[in-house]
Homo-oligomer: A and B are copies of this chain.
Amino acid sequence: MSGERVYLYDSTLRDGAQTQGVDFTPADKAAIAEALDRLGIDYVEGGWPGANPTDDAFFGAPPALHRARLAAFGMTRRSGRCAADDPGLAAVLAAGAPVVTLVGKTWDFHAEVALGVGLAENVDMIGESIAHAAARCEEVIFDAEHFFDGYKANPGYALDCVRAALEAGARWIVLCDTNGGTLPHEVERIVGEVLAHVPGERLGIHCHDDTGNAVANSLLAVRAGVRHVQGTLNGLGERCGNANLVSILPSLILKMGFTTGVTPTDLTRLTHVSRLLDERLNRQPNRRAPYVGESAFAHKGGLHVSAVEKDPRCYEHIAPELVGNRRHIIVSDQAGRSNVLARLREIGLELEADDPRLAQMVRIVKEREGDGYAYDGAEASFELLARRVLGDVPEFFRITTFRVIDERRWDDHGRLVTLSEATVKLEVEGETYMTVAEGNGPVNALDAALRKVLTPVYPELAELRLVDYKVRILTPEAGTAAVTRVMIESTDGRGEHWNTVGVSGNVIDASFHALYDSITYLLLRHRLPGRDLAS
Q: Tell which of B212, B408, B440 touches A215, judged by Cβ atoms closer than 8 Å.
A: B212
Q: Is the CB–CB distance between A247 and B212 below 8 Å?
A: yes
Contacting residues, chain B, for A239 (C-beta < 8 A): 288, 293, 295-298
Contacting residues, chain B, for A300 (C-beta < 8 A): 18, 20, 238
Q: Kindly state whether residue A43 has any CB partner on chain B within 8 Å.
A: no
CA distance in complex: A311, B110 (Å): 9
Q: Kindly state whether residue A381 has any CB partner on chain B within 8 Å.
A: no
Q: Kindly state whether residue A315 has any CB partner on chain B within 8 Å.
A: yes
Known pairs A290-B211, A406-B404, A477-B26; A314 contacts B376 (CB<8 A): no
Identify 8 residue pairs between A and B in the complex whose beta-carbon atoms are under 8 Å apart, listed by A's number.
A18-B300, A21-B376, A25-B477, A27-B476, A179-B316, A180-B317, A183-B256, A282-B470
Q: Which of A288, A416, A442 has the most chain B CB atoms closer than 10 A to its own CB?
A: A288
Q: Kindly state whether residue A160 has any CB partner on chain B within 8 Å.
A: no
CA distance in complex: A9, B406 (Å): 48
Contacting residues, chain B, for A307 (C-beta < 8 A): 110, 113-114
CA distance in complex: A465, B219 (Å): 43
Q: Kindly state whether residue A244 has any CB partner on chain B within 8 Å.
A: yes
Q: Is the CB–CB distance between B114 and A314 below 8 Å?
A: yes
Nearest-neighbour CB distance to chain B for A105, whole angstroms, equals: 10
Q: Kindly state whether residue A402 has any CB partner on chain B within 8 Å.
A: yes
Look across to chain B and name the residue whose beta carbon is closest to the beta carbon of A238: B300
CA distance in complex: A307, B146 (Å): 13
Contacting residues, chain B, for A418 (C-beta < 8 A): 504, 506, 508-509, 512
CA distance in complex: A264, B216 (Å): 26
Contacting residues, chain B, for A110 (C-beta < 8 A): 307, 314
Q: Is the CB–CB distance between A184 and B374 below 8 Å?
A: no
Q: Is the CB–CB distance between B113 and A210 below 8 Å?
A: no
CA distance in complex: A131, B484 (Å): 45
Look across to chain B and name the residue whose beta carbon is closest to the beta carbon of A478: B282
CA distance in complex: A310, B114 (Å): 7
Nearest-neighbour CB distance to chain B for A451, whole angstroms, equals: 16
A residues in contact (CB < 8 Å) with B: 18, 20-21, 23, 25-27, 51-52, 109-110, 113-114, 178-185, 209-213, 215-217, 219-220, 223, 235, 238-241, 244, 247-248, 250-251, 255-256, 282-283, 287-291, 293, 295-301, 307, 310-311, 313-318, 330, 333-334, 374, 376-377, 399, 401-410, 416, 418-420, 440-444, 465-477, 481-482, 484, 504-509, 512
Complex A-B, nearest 4 residue pairs according to Cβ-Cβ distance, in ascending order = A181-B317, A216-B216, A441-B507, A212-B247
Q: Tell which of B114, B181, B235, B482 touches A440, judged by Cβ atoms closer than 8 Å.
A: B482
Q: Is the CB–CB distance between B185 and A109 below 8 Å?
A: no
Contacting residues, chain B, for A295 (C-beta < 8 A): 20, 238-240
CA distance in complex: A310, B374 (Å): 47
Nearest-neighbour CB distance to chain B for A304, whole angstroms, equals: 8
Contacting residues, chain B, for A405 (C-beta < 8 A): 403-405
Nearest-neighbour CB distance to chain B for A201, whole angstroms, equals: 21
Known pairs A247-B212, A255-B181, A313-B109; A408 contacts B419 (CB<8 A): no
Known pairs A223-B185, A295-B20, A442-B507; A290 contacts B209 (CB<8 A): yes
Known pairs A184-B220, A440-B481, A508-B442; A315 contacts B20 (CB<8 A): no
Contacting residues, chain B, for A506 (C-beta < 8 A): 406, 418-420, 440-441
Q: Tell which of B113, B299, B333, B377 touches A314, judged by Cβ atoms closer than 8 Å.
A: B113
CA distance in complex: A475, B24 (Å): 11
CA distance in complex: A240, B251 (Å): 15
Contacting residues, chain B, for A185 (C-beta < 8 A): 219-220, 223
Nearest-neighbour CB distance to chain B for A441, whole angstroms, equals: 3
